[in-house]
């Protein structure tokens, strides 16, 4: 009740000061950005990878540094848990809801509930496939298609003189934006060139154990594999274990390309077990704080904010490793 009265007074003051209500869904129920009592609810995917752990730590650190209360929930990889968490944040009347969607589809109902409650939503890391982009204020994260294309371009250069390249693909979580887009980006880079032969493709769910298990099966059914394309470092690290257990040398007998560039992946790249890594940065915390403050204050923010990223060869990994934060 106290909070409701506070919000109503803050909202009335804001309208009186600006002479108009704010645009989008950020106008009602928000309005406490910058005054010290902002509350943000964040629903994280889970803890499936080194990337995810680094992302969680960075977000928690950034909100702590900014003195903003962050209500955090871990969905343990389940969409239904995220929907429950978002509904709970709506009930608690938080000022902003942020989340990294486990999968791309199936969000319209709960996002409409947030919109009806006047709570602005920010997508971080992963997007949704909703046709109605008024259901969220902004999407902050990587261009996953570009990441897949970068992997494909490296493969094309590396195998420029080869007649054929037999590739196995360790996909991320089925239905997740990075799994869909990294698969597409690779294929876009290859175009119609039949030389690049994706002989097997299966999900390893973005986990090291999943990558190892799927790679073991790939090795059994495909005696000739030139290259593994893993949608993240963790699955690539699992594949290394499977390749070594099969008596082959990762990075030499079978080349490996991954996405993320977390510390363990970069170490494997420096050691010659991975051949190339496309960076996907988990350090989204400070930008998320900035966006949350702005949307809570009713300001307009960019609908799409793309994270800046690079790629790494072995030499570049050796140079970057001493300063790598995650
Ligand atoms: O959404 C980002 C992806 O999710 C990362 O590449 C992967 O490691 C994580 O699990």
Say if residue 158 is in the same domain as residue 79.
Answer: no
Residues 296 and 70: their CA atoms lie apart, in Å, by 14
Asked if residue 23 belongs to a domain, the reply is no
Question: Which pLDDT does position 325 carry in this prediction?
Answer: 87
Q: Give the per-residue pLDDT at 24.
A: 34
| Same domain assignment for residues 195 and 270 | yes
**Ligand 1 centroid distance, CA of 211 (Å):** 13
Is there a domain that residue 57 lies in? Answer: yes
- Tell me: do 92 and 104 sit in the same domain: yes
Residues 228 and 305 in one domain: no
Q: Is residue 28 part of a domain?
A: no
Task: Let me know whether 190 and 210 are in one domain.
Answer: yes
Q: Are residues 148 and 276 in the same domain?
A: yes
Specify whether 66 is located in the same domain as 155.
no
Same domain, 157 and 270: yes
CA of 73 to the centre of ligand 1 (A): 17
Q: To test ligand 1's pocket by mutation, which of 47, 48, 51 has the most ligand atoms within 8 angstroms of CB?
A: 51
Task: Provide the domain count of the chain.
Answer: 2
* Residues near ligand 1 (Cβ within 6 A): 48-49, 51-52, 125-126, 178, 206, 232, 259-260, 280
Which pLDDT score is estimated for 6? 43
Q: Is residue 55 part of a domain?
A: yes
Q: What domain range is 299 assigned to?
A: 39-142+282-309
Q: Which of 76, 99, 183, 280 to mutate to test the pocket of ligand 1 (most atoms within 8 A of CB)?
A: 280
pLDDT value of residue 36? 63
pTM for the predicted model, two decimal places: 0.89
| Residue 80 sits in the same domain as residue 155 | no
Residues of the chain with pLDDT under 70: 1-36
Whichever domain contains 297, its CATH number is: 3.40.50.2300
Beta-bridged to residue 169, according to DSSP, are 201, 229
Q: Is the same domain home to 232 and 286?
A: no
At 86-124, the pLDDT tens digits run 999 999 999 999 999 999 999 999 999 999 999 999 999
Asked, for residue 8, whether it belongs to a domain, the answer is: no
The predicted structure's pLDDT at residue 25: 37
Q: How far is the CA of 240 from the centre of ligand 1 (A)?
A: 19
Q: Cβ neighbours of residue 43 under 8 Å, at least 6 residues apart?
A: 73, 75, 81, 82, 85, 86, 89, 97, 98, 99, 100
Quick one: which atom of ligand 1 is closest to the CA of 173? Answer: 10
The Cα 280–Cα 292 span in angstroms is: 22
**3-state SS string for the chain:** CHHHHHHHHHHHHHHHHHCCCCCHHHCCCCCCCCCCCCEEEEEECCCCCHHHHHHHHHHHHHHHHCCCEEEEEECCCCHHHHHHHHHHHHHCCCCEEEECCCCCCCCHHHHHHHHHCCCCEEEECCCCCCCCHHHCCEEEECCHHHHHHHHHHHHHHHCCCCCCEEEEEEECCCCCHHHHHHHHHHHHHHCCCCCEEEEEEEECCCCHHHHHHHHHHHHHHCCCCCEEEECCHHHHHHHHHHHHHCCCCECCCEEEEEEECCHHHHHHHHCCCCCEEEECCCCCHHHHHHHHHHHHCCCCCCCEEECCCCEECHHHHHHHHHHCCC
State the residue for tokens 């970068």.
150
Q: Tell me what pLDDT residue 7 has.
A: 44
- Residue 18 is assigned to a structural domain of this protein: no
Residue whose C-alpha is closest to residue 152's, from 119, 126, 185: 185
Gap between the Cα atoms of 172 and 25, Å rounded: 32
Kindly state whether residues 56 and 205 are assigned to the same domain: no
Is 29 inside any structural domain?
A: no
Domain presence at residue 244: yes
Residue 287 has what pLDDT? 98
Distance CA 96, CA 119 (A): 6
* Same domain assignment for residues 197 and 251: yes
């Amino acid at each position: 009740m106290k909070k409701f009265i506070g919000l109503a007074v803050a909202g009335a003051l804001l309208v009186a000061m600006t002479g108009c209500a704010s645009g989008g869904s950020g106008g009602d129920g928000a309005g406490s950005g910058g005054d010290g009592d902002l509350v943000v609810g964040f629903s994280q995917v889970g803890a499936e990878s080194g990337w995810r752990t680094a992302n969680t730590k960075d977000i928690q650190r950034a909100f702590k540094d900014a003195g903003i209360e962050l209500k955090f929930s871990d969905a343990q990889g389940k969409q239904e848990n995220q929907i429950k968490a978002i509904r709970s944040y709506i009930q608690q009347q938080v000022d902003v809801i942020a989340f990294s969607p486990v999968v791309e589809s199936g969000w319209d109902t709960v996002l409409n509930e947030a919109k009806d409650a006047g709570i602005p939503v920010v997508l971080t890391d992963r997007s949704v496939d909703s046709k109605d982009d008024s259901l969220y204020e902004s999407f902050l994260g990587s261009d996953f298609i570009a990441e897949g294309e970068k992997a494909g371009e490296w493969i094309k250069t590396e195998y420029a003189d080869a007649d054929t390249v037999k590739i196995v693909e360790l996909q991320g979580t089925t239905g997740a934006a990075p799994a869909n887009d990294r698969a597409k980006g690779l294929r876009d880079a290859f175009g119609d060139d039949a030389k690049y032969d994706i002989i097997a493709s299966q999900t390893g769910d973005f986990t090291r154990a999943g990558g190892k298990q799927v790679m073991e099966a790939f090795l059994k059914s495909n005696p000739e594999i030139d290259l593994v394309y893993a949608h993240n470092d963790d699955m690539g690290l699992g594949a290394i274990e499977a390749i070594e257990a099969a008596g082959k040398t990762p990075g030499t007998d079978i080349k490996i390309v991954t996405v993320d560039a977390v510390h363990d992946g970069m170490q494997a790249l420096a050691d010659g077990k991975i051949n190339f890594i496309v960076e996907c940065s988990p350090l989204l915390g400070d930008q998320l704080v900035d966006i949350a403050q702005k949307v809570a204050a009713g300001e307009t923010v960019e609908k799409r904010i793309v994270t800046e990223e690079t790629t790494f060869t072995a030499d570049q990994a050796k140079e970057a490793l001493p300063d790598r934060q995650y």
